[in-house]
Amino acid sequence: MNIAIIGAGLMGHALALVFAIGGHRVRLTDNQPDTLARAPALMERARATLDSAGEAGGLTEAALGERVTIHAALADAVAKADLVIEAIIEKPEAKRTLYAELDAVMPPGAILASNTSYLDVFPLMPPGRLPRAVIMHWYTPPYLVDLVDVVGSPECPPALLEDLAEMLRAMGKAPLVMRRFLPGYIANRLQSALNLECYRLMDEGHATAAEIDEAIIHGLGLRLLLLGQMAKGDFTGLQLTAHALANRMYEPPPLRGRSETIDRALAEGRGGVMHGRGLYDWGGQSPEALFAERDNRLIALKRVLREIGPMAGFAQRKES
Ligand SMILES: NC(=O)C1=CN([C@@H]2O[C@H](COP(=O)(O)OP(=O)(O)OC[C@H]3O[C@@H](n4cnc5c(N)ncnc54)[C@H](O)[C@@H]3O)[C@@H](O)[C@H]2O)C=CC1
Ligand SMILES: O=C(O)[C@@H](O)C(=O)[C@H](O)[C@@H](O)CO
């Protein structure tokens, strides 16, 4: 397919690589020239990391350069596109404006997809585009995390969703087609609930970021990889689950819409790996180096998990 990706930031550049590895032709654009100019180096570093582990599907540096082309103009990027993926800033009005611009330049039959984390983008889209409008929500880094949440607009036929899911499976991804739009889908909803508790623990001084991660890495993480959360509950025993629900020993975190810990970090310029520092001080290492360090570990872990196989999920266990 001819893919156009709008937004070459943290997700956009990585999505371009995913589709290039999947054999598609990609046109990438961004309205910030510096970000667009940086994308090829970020893509090549990730490709080289994957290739060194035999996980790049044989995509060479030269082939990457041929399959993903950089376009400053939106109209150039979407010309002849079969699938247009929006991966711009998570602000409703910015997406609404972009969808209107896309409507004027993208091919009539092209599919419009958003990588939005939580927004119901369908009301932001021109009505005429809704029969071929979807959400395809990926997880970072999308070239290693296989889950893709797929949601059709209210007017999108199920057959189109299945075609997209089939394309994703052919790329080695794990599409989860939602029956209807749900903000946050499943994994993001869970992640949001976990994040709310994490921010509460830090804001109220109960734990530091490193202590929270220690608890997850040495406590929850191992079982989650094989059992998820529900099958793990079966091993815990549902009677204990029922008691824990009934006991309700503390109130869940309030929905305050902000976190002092996050606000303080942003005020101090600690925006995350792309800024050199976030909740952790990454020692001035470049994002490329940190992504490569993360990716090498994820590749090794994913390889072992492929050999072991999970104990739960669609393909592993029937639900009772
Ligand atoms: N960061 C993450 O881990 C994930 C993010 N997402 C979602 O993906 C989308 C993008 O997120 P990130 O890549 O993290 O953001 P980002 O801020 O890294 O990249 C967004 C890019 O969009 C560009 N942009 C903004 N408005 C534009 C326009 N009108 N035309 C062209 N380019 C424009 C910006 O210059 C920027 O480079 C958001 O909707 C986010 O919720 C989804 C999954 C994971
Ligand atoms: O975990 C991921 O990669 C994604 O689900 C996201 O980052 C979400 O879009 C969200 O957590 C961003 O806040």
Residue 302 corresponds to which amino acid? K
* Pocket flag, ligand 1, residue 77 (CB < 6 Å): no
Q: Could you check whether 2-177 and 187-319 share the same CATH topology?
A: no
Ligand number with the minimum distance to the CA of 86: 1
Distance of CA 46 from the midpoint of ligand 1 (Å) = 18
Q: Where are the domains of the chain?
A: 2-177, 187-319
- Gap between the Cα atoms of 158 and 169, Å rounded: 16
Chain segment 166-209, per-residue pLDDT in tens: 999 999 999 999 999 999 999 999 999 999 999 999 999 999 99
pLDDT single digits (tens) 249-287: 889 998 999 999 999 999 999 999 989 999 999 988 998
The pLDDT assigned to 319 comes to: 82
* Proximal ligand: closest to the CA of 119: 1
Task: Note the pTM of the prediction, 2 decimals.
Answer: 0.94
Q: What CATH number should be reported for the domain whose range is 187-319? A: 1.10.1040.10
CB-neighbour burial class of residue 177 (10 A; exposed 0-12, middle 13-18, buried 19+): middle
Buried-exposed string 280-309: b where 16+ CB fall within 10 A, e elsewhere: eebeeeebbeebbeebeebbeeeeeeeeee
Looking at ligand 1, which residue's alpha carbon is closest to its atom 42? 117
The residue whose CA is least distant from atom 10 of ligand 2 is 117
Nearest protein Cα to ligand 2, atom 11: 188
Indicate whether 135 pLDDT > 90: yes
- Decide whether any atom of ligand 1 lies within 6 Å of the 121 Cβ: no
Report long-range pairs for 160-167 (Cβ below 8 Å, ≥24 apart). Answer: 160/111, 160/132, 160/134, 161/134, 164/111, 164/113, 164/134, 164/136, 167/1, 167/22
On average, the pLDDT of the chain sits at: 96
Residue 24 CA to residue 18 CA, distance in Å, equals: 9
User: Is the CB of residue 140 below 6 angstroms from any atom belonging to ligand 2?
Assistant: yes
Q: How far is the CA of 292 from the centre of ligand 1 (A)?
A: 20
Q: Does residue 306 register a pLDDT over 80?
A: yes
Nearest CA to ligand 1 atom 36: 9
Centre of ligand 1 to C-alpha 200, Å, is 26
Q: Which atom of ligand 2 is nearest to the CA of 192?
A: 11
What is the homologous superfamily of the domain 2-177 according to CATH? NAD(P)-binding Rossmann-like Domain (3.40.50.720)
ipTM of the complex: 0.97
Tens digits of residue pLDDT in 67-118: 999 999 999 999 999 999 999 999 999 999 999 999 999 999 999 999 999 9
